[in-house]
Chains A and B, each alone.
Chain A
Amino acid sequence: MNFNVNEKGYYGEFGGAYIPEMLYPNVEELRQNYLKITSEPDFKTEFDQLLKDYVGRPSPLYFAKRLSEKYNTKVYLKREDLNHTGAHKVNNTIGQILVAKKLGKKRIIAETGAGQHGVATATVCALMGMECIVYMGEIDIARQAPNVARMKMLGAEVRPALSGSKTLKDATNEAIRDWINNPVDTHYIIGSAIGPHPYPDMVTRFQSVISEEIKWQLKEKEGRENPDYVVACIGGGSNAAGTYYHFLHEPQVGIIAVEAAGKGVDSGHSAATSKLGKVGVIHGCKTLLMQTPDGQITEPYSISAGLDYPGVGPMHAHLAQTGRGEFFSVTDDDAMNAGLQLTKLEGIIPAIESAHAFAVLDQKKFKPTDIVVISLSGRGDKDLDNYIDYFKL
């Protein structure tokens, strides 16, 4: 079975480009050019150079000794938290801004939830001297103040999304409307593996450096390229897509996806899309989507702004539907405790998004000989206020 995108832009029944005609020229321009541009030698050279010298790649694959002892299995952490700007998001923004430059675009727009993608976008815009506008839900602006300040320092304009739930979904709506209003000079850097084709595939390819590195790093450490499991948290699913990419067609590698259950899958305050979603269309793609029986998109909930999204990337919807991916849902409480535990056992404060992935160690029993690679997609600095509130520190 093929888990990559097909020539029409679908992963099984999911994906496609369900966009208003106003967006067609932009999306079509991208579709026709993204593979051509990204396979040119000078693009690859510049991309690789920036990942190495600017982002600090390769990110370490770290054997988490004390965590492994506690769970009696071999846990490796893929340290995306050590990237410049503090998360995996920058892998994609570097790639996309280089594409935007090749397409002759002058103005960059982006949406952001936790602010990590916004910061990563503002960063590469500063690097390239391009105008940057980031849409962010009003509620997220309040709960991620340090990232808002960072974006402003980097020269970006942060525009609040005031509609709907005032979170990531609505920021995405506003970014899409901006693109409709500015169809010629603007490139929209989508931060997750969502949106109309070719975005999910393009973002996945830029993030696939994560699994590319895991392969050779694990070979060095363990003498084999393939772990038994790769684990990642999923909101839209960009770090997960990159973590899985080179293992999708290695059937011996188990793929584990961890969604935010919020206050519980059935609590009415959740973002566990694979459990609660039905097939629908959001932000230009057909995927699993949390919605009312009437097809209105519902407001998700998670303590982590980065997982607070009512849909999931089409690649992941396909992994869920086919059973290739094993999906877990983790509550706010379990994620927070897993984050604190990682801090105490390994001296690493994870982003709350990433902390969700670690909670799976309490839900699934791994064998002592299993090699489990967990994507530590971001660092927890931005979440300190949340940790302080939660644990009354």
Chain B
Amino acid sequence: MNRITQKLQEDKKILSIYFSAGYPNLNDTVQIIQDLEKNGVDLIEIGLPFSDPLADGPTIQASSTTALHNGMTTQILFDQLKNIRESVKIPLIIMGYFNPMLQYGVEAFCKKCAEIGIDGLIIPDLPVDVYADEYKAIFEKYGLINVFLITPQTSDERIRFIDSVSNGFIYMVSSASVTGSQSGFGNIQESYFERIGNMNLKNPQIVGFGISNKETFNQATKYAKGAIIGSAFIKHLSESGSQKIAAFVGDIR
């Protein structure tokens, strides 16, 4: 069974952390993953940096740019992760934009992920329709879960379609925004979380965008299976370096 599916069956709220591979330093990737697991994080999204991250706010733009300046490439990331399964057991997802994957070759990329033990992908600019028509078979061949986003503006009909194409979890974007731009949730998010929670979707939902601390984590997971922290963790890395991950995770739960 895919590690993501297995993890989602556990009777707990999932804490997922995103970071940009190659940030703050090129070779921090493996250490950060190991530290996150050691401190009780359930799932990790490894960001493959891209020059033009359309859906990201200033924090992740900056960490992606730094990672690229540090020399990060798709191949270097795969090399860094080559032996990751010798030390890390939790599910690992690569999150990145479509163009670098297209250049690597979508099938070659998927094959490499499977060899390493990557469990899934999140590709914000690969629409579900194109995926279903052109790439689903490849992902399934390599046992990879592809995760799609929904937003407060996504229609119920489209959410049902996304649910039908998904086989892991649904990435529930908390509000209409790029990453890292919200601070706290109001009534609008609350009713959106509740609405989606009541749709009885086949896939569990994990909330992302705007989760930065214990309070927002708890709000997000009241109705959803888990929550993802990205920008806030990257800010923590920027300010405290990769040494103090325990403190960050400890503050969330």
Contacts and interface: CB of A to CB of B under 8 A. Distances in A.
Interface of A: 16-22, 24-25, 163-164, 169, 173, 176-177, 180-184, 278-284, 289, 291, 293-297
Contacts of B80: none
A356 to B, nearest CB: 25
Contacts of A297: 51-52, 99
Interface string B110-130: 000000000000001111101
B222 interface: no
A24 B103 contact: no
B176 A22 contact: yes
B149 A22 contact: yes
Given A280-B103, A295-B74, A297-B51, A181 B98 contact: no
A180 B104 contact: no
Contacts of A293: 103
Contact of B127 (A17, A278, A291, A296): A17
A293 B104 CA distance: 8
A296 B176 contact: no
Contacts of A19: 125, 127
A281 B55 contact: no
Given A16-B130, A180-B177, A281-B98, A296 B55 contact: no
A17 B128 CA distance: 11
B146 interface: no
B99 A291 contact: yes
B103 A173 contact: no
Contact of A294 (B52, B103, B151, B154): B103
B54 interface: yes
B111 to A, nearest CB: 17
B47 to A, nearest CB: 14
Q: Which residue, of A21, A177, A181, A280, has the highest number of chain B Cβ atoms within 10 A?
A: A21
A20 B98 contact: no
Contacts of A180: 54-55, 176-178
Interface of B: 50-52, 54-55, 57, 61, 65, 68, 73-75, 97-104, 124-128, 130, 148-151, 153-155, 158, 173, 176-178, 181
A279 B105 CA distance: 12
A284 B128 CA distance: 14
Contacts of A24: 127, 153-154, 158
A91 B36 CA distance: 54
A332 B126 CA distance: 36
Contacts, number: 107
A317 to B, nearest CB: 14
A163 B66 CA distance: 12
Contacts of A278: 103
Contacts of A16: 130
B55 A22 contact: yes
B55 to A, nearest CB: 4
A183 B153 contact: yes
A200 B34 CA distance: 46
Nearest to B57: A177
A184 B148 CA distance: 21
Given A177-B54, A180-B55, A21 B98 contact: no
B51 A21 contact: no
Contact of B51 (A18, A177, A296): A296
Contacts of B176: 22, 180-184
A169 B99 CA distance: 15
A282 B178 contact: no
Q: Which residue, of A289, A291, A295, has the highest number of chain B Cβ atoms within 10 A?
A: A295
Given A25-B153, A184-B153, A284-B125, A164 B102 contact: no
Contacts of A173: 52, 54
Contacts of B73: 294
Nearest to A162: B58
Nearest to A294: B73
Nearest to A280: B99
A294 B98 contact: no
A289 B50 CA distance: 14
Contacts of B97: 281
26 contacts: A17-B127, A20-B124, A21-B124, A21-B173, A22-B178, A25-B151, A163-B61, A169-B52, A173-B52, A176-B54, A183-B176, A184-B153, A280-B99, A281-B99, A281-B102, A283-B54, A289-B99, A291-B103, A293-B103, A294-B74, A294-B75, A294-B100, A295-B50, A295-B74, A295-B99, A297-B52
Contacts of B154: 21, 24-25
Contacts of B155: 25
A169 B100 CA distance: 17
